[in-house]
Structure 1
Amino acid sequence: MSEIILSGDPPVTVSLRRSARARRLSLRVSRLDGRVTLSLPLRLGEREALGFLREKESWIRDHVAACGPEKRVVPGAVLPFLGRPTEIVTGQGRAARLWPGRLEVPGRPEQAGAKVKAFLRLEAQMRLRLACDRYAAALGVPYGRLSLRDPRSRWGSCTSEGNLMFSWRLVMAPEAVLDYVAAHELAHRLEMNHSERFWAHVARICPDHRAHRAWLRQEGETLHRWQFG
């Protein structure tokens, strides 16, 4: 993948992604890290690409400027847990302990990120398992393996075999949003598509699903800005 740098203050690096499927130029600015990607047809030259970028430079810079910075998990940071602000503080003992408004994390400050991540994964596993069991019973369907990952392009998935995958970062979202994603994936046990029948199943077990989908569209990428390493 080649790059073009738009000079200016600051300079902006644009990654060029050539695709046999591309029929036109297409710009994308990641809301997560401000990365700019230009997709273009295989035979289009870089001169044409640069001309297009110059035409869109104001739009590019506005969207890059709107991206929030990464946030590191260290003592004193305030991150969301089930949608509620939770301060990371240094604690005693061997395991992280949750209190109203704070999470006590033992050990050295440089270990805080890894220990908070481990705590969040355990909480996500427990809460998603409970939600999936509840919705599976409501729909009258079984499901297979439940796994947690950290994808950037989706919050959950369901295979044809009934295996479920979820982003563990959902535990930072409001609990109703986490529950909605579980309901969404369990509904795929009845319809492996997004047809009207699928959404009817979702609405039956999660009546407020539209509001929770809207939250993920508007706020979901802020969860990915937290860095635990």
Structure 2
Amino acid sequence: MVAGAVAAVETVPIASGQVTVQWRPSRQARRISMRIDPRSGHVIITLPRGARKADGLSLLRAHSGWVAAGLSRLPPTPELCDGGYVLLDGQRHEIRHCPDARRGVWLEEGRLHVSGAEEFIARRVAAYLRAQAQVLLPARLRLLTGQCGLRPTQVRLRDTKSRWGSCSSDGAIMLCWRLVMAPQEVQHYIIAHELAHLRHMNHGPDFWLLVDRLTPHRRQAEKWLHANGASLHRMVPA
């Protein structure tokens, strides 16, 4: 495998069964590393320049117990299909397929109705949630901005894997669009967290004092994300 090549995915047997491995060659990495992707459930093995695939397999099999334990802790992946469910603002909504309707996707009486062909349900639900995020998250950020006077230079939504939000040195705030599936209290905390970075680009005592002035939901939100954050990554495909 040559560094810079397209990552390959394959099924590999280990002591506990079979796992899906995604190989990632890297010119920057200095050693072989391994992690579990909470979205796909794949074991990601990074190979630095000159490393052999056999070395990666040795690492995988030497830590097969850790891999098996990590995979067992991943939440199940719900199917975005008729009778399945999805979260919006922390509320669980059953998906109802309406093949003959001509309304696209709409929320009614606690159910998310999806028109069109059955094979497009997952795609349409994902698009609906992203569209909701584009409207709701910036609006909720603007609301808190109006209350506290901390104004970002820009607001962007992305599909991030490890961060729910970030604030750059030039004052731009990024939010993970998947937050729209979390309760509004969680959204409020993440938005407050990033707004506080506009004044304190660190996690020192003054930063946390400001966060706690901006939102009463810090402890509750951190607990919820610890318990349910991985589910948001697995609920909707990237």
Change (3 A) 1:109 1:209: same
In the superposition, relative to structure 1, how do residues 137 and 34 fare at CA in structure 2: closer, same or farther (>3 Å)?
same
1:71 maps to 2:81: no
Cα offset for 1:105? Answer: 2.0
Which letter maps to 1:163? A
Q: How does 1:77-116 map to 2 (within 5 A)?
A: 77-91=84-98, 92-116=101-125
Aligned to 1:29: 36
The aligned runs of 1:28-177 (5 Å cut-off) are 28-37=35-44, 53-91=60-98, 92-177=101-186
The SS at the match of 2:17 is coil
Q: How much does 1:53 deviate?
A: 4.5
Q: For this pair of structures, how many residues does the alignment match? A: 228
TM-score (structure 2 length as normaliser): 0.77
> Which is further off, 189-198 or 25-34?
25-34
| Structure 1 counterpart of 2:199 | 190
Contiguous gaps of at least 5 residues in structure 1: none
Q: What's the counterpart of residue 5 of structure 2?
A: none
Q: Is the 8 A contact 2:14 2:61 kept in 1?
A: no
**2:167/2:174 contact within 8 Å kept:** yes
> What letter matches 2:175 in structure 1?
F
SS in structure 2 at match of 1:146: strand
Q: TM-score, normalised by structure 1?
A: 0.80
- Residue 221 of structure 2: aligned partner: 212
Q: Return 83-92 or 109-118, whichever deviates more.
A: 109-118
* Partner amino acid, structure 1, of 2:156: S
Write the distance in 2 (CA, Å) between the matches of 1:94 and 1:86.
18
Which structure 2 residue ranges, 5 or more long, are not aligned? 3-7
